[in-house]
């Protein structure tokens, strides 16, 4: 890490410590993680939760309700893979009781920032230890030249787009809240159960919807490599992605290969995402003669929660592929 950045962070932490309001509890710098059984924050004060991405913040809202005050580090409509944290993010993390992030290649800046700030918060890493269910690896081998195989550092981090993993995220958030605020553990667990059954109801509906797409048309081309877990869960074949690795534009040759693959495989549509400029995908779609629709992964429209995001994705996939 560059020395200049360390100095900046050091300055910010010092400034924060100096101007922390009288209402904030003070803690010695040594107590970086609150031990289990720590007294709950005063009932007058809501649990302050900071999530890396807005979509995880919506899960925290569903579980925490009025008992929490949640915000996200990543601004709406931003690509987390190329995000550069700001001094304001450091200030946010310094105030948090609970910090929630995905882990892996999605939001590596969170771990770095937490270390830099010496946060006292309890930390929940949502995707920690998760592995794709059996069959996904087989799918990747089958795709062969498709980009999922290009994930060099292990598993693809976008687990929440498979609702089974979305449920794991929700349960982990409930566990984290219950540890930070044990006085309301029963409420957090009840809210998590309610949201879990909402996800299960959505999933049953989604499977019925996907079943209306003719099997030979269940082929997905997305903008960035966010949908292998979604595709595996719903029996879609991932044929390709436009951007092979974050922040790198495809070469003209790679674009030509993707257009050829879309034509050869008979892929009915390709999908853009709001955090990326759609021009490149529109050009590819025009050359391949297919439609362009939208999918949500790391960024969603304001006000859309996790289940809303999933429902919209399934609706758009069915509209794009069914024909």
Strand arrangement, sheet containing 237-243:
237-243, 219-224, 269-272, 291-294
DSSP H or E segment with residue 49:
strand 47-51
Q: Smallest gap, in angstroms, from Cβ of residue 199 to Zn ion?
A: 20
Closest CA to 290 of 255, 266, 313: 266
SS (H, E, C) 172-184: HHHHHHHHHCHHH
Which residue lies nearer to Zn ion by CB, 226 or 269?
Answer: 226
Whether the CB-CB separation of 192 and 170 falls below 8 Å is answered with yes
Which residue lies nearer to Zn ion by CB, 140 or 298?
Answer: 298
Which residue lies nearer to Zn ion by CB, 188 or 296?
Answer: 296
Q: In this structure, what token pair is assigned to residue 240?
A: 């390709």
Which residue lies nearer to Zn ion by CB, 210 or 241?
Answer: 241
Region of 57-65, 84-92, 267-275, 294-302 interacting with Zn ion (CB under 5 A) = 294-302
Q: Smallest gap, in angstroms, from Cβ of residue 79 to Zn ion?
A: 7
Region of 83-91, 187-195, 225-233, 314-322 interacting with Zn ion (CB under 5 A) = 225-233
Among 50, 68, 90, 226, binds Zn ion (CB under 5 A): 226
Which residue lies nearer to Zn ion by CB, 227 or 234?
Answer: 227
Region of 138-146, 202-210, 219-227, 268-276 interacting with Zn ion (CB under 5 A) = 219-227
Q: Smallest gap, in angstroms, from Cβ of residue 152 to Zn ion?
A: 15
Region of 118-126, 133-141, 172-180, 218-226 interacting with Zn ion (CB under 5 A) = 218-226
End-to-end CA distance of the chain: 51
Whether the CB-CB separation of 133 and 228 falls below 8 Å is answered with no
Q: In this structure, what token pair is assigned to residue 159?
A: 């687990």
Region of 173-181, 197-205, 253-261, 292-300 interacting with Zn ion (CB under 5 A) = 292-300
Which residue lies nearer to Zn ion by CB, 139 or 298?
Answer: 298
- Give me the sign of the Cα torsion angle 53, 56, 62, 65: negative
**Rounded (10°) CA dihedral 118, 119, 120, 122:** -130
Position 105 contacts Zn ion (CB under 5 A): no
Residues in binding contact with Zn ion, number by CB under 5 A: 2
Position 298 contacts Zn ion (CB under 5 A): yes
Which residue lies nearer to Zn ion by CB, 49 or 241?
Answer: 241
Region of 13-21, 167-175, 265-273, 291-299 interacting with Zn ion (CB under 5 A) = 291-299
Which residue lies nearer to Zn ion by CB, 100 or 288?
Answer: 100
292 vs 276: CA distance, rounded Å? 14
Whether the CB-CB separation of 233 and 162 falls below 8 Å is answered with yes
Q: Smallest gap, in angstroms, from Cβ of residue 246 to Zn ion?
A: 7
DSSP 217-280: G-EEEEEES--HHHHHHHT-EEEEEEESSTT-PPPHHHHHHHHHHHHHHT--EEEE-TTS-SHH
Position 241 contacts Zn ion (CB under 5 A): no
CA 72 to chain centre: 11
CA 200 to chain centre: 19
Binding site residues, Zn ion, CB under 5 A: 226, 298
């Amino acid at each position: 890490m560059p020395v200049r950045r360390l100095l900046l962070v050091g300055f910010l932490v010092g400034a924060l410590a100096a101007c922390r309001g009288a209402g904030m509890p003070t803690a010695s710098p040594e107590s970086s993680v609150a031990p289990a059984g720590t007294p709950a924050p005063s009932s007058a004060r809501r649990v302050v939760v900071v999530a890396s991405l807005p979509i995880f913040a919506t899960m925290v809202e569903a579980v925490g309700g009025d008992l929490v005050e949640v915000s996200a580090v990543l601004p709406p409509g931003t690509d987390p893979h190329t995000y550069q944290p700001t001094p304001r993010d450091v200030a946010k993390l310094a105030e948090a009781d609970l910090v929630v992030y995905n882990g892996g290649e999605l939001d590596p800046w969170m771990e770095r920032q937490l270390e830099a700030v010496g946060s006292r918060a309890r930390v929940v890493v949502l995707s920690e230890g998760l592995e794709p269910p059996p069959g996904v690896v087989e799918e990747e081998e089958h795709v062969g030249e498709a980009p999922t195989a290009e994930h060099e550092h292990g598993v693809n981090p976008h687990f929440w787009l498979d609702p089974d993993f979305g449920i794991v995220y929700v349960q982990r958030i409930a566990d984290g809240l219950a540890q930070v605020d044990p006085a309301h553990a029963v409420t957090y667990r009840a809210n998590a159960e309610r949201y879990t059954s909402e996800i299960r109801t959505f999933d049953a509906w989604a499977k019925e919807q996907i079943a209306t797409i003719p099997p030979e048309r269940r082929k997905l081309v997305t903008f960035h490599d966010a949908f292998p877990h979604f595709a595996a869960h719903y029996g879609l074949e991932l044929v390709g992605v436009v951007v092979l690795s974050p922040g790198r534009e495809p070469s003209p040759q790679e674009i030509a290969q993707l257009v050829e693959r879309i034509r050869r495989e008979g892929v009915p549509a390709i999908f853009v995402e709001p955090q990326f400029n759609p021009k490149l995908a529109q050009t590819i779609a025009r050359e391949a003669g297919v439609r362009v629709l939208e999918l949500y992964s790391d960024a969603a429209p304001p006000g859309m929660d996790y289940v809303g995001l999933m429902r919209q994705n399934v609706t758009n996939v069915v509209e794009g592929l069914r024909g």
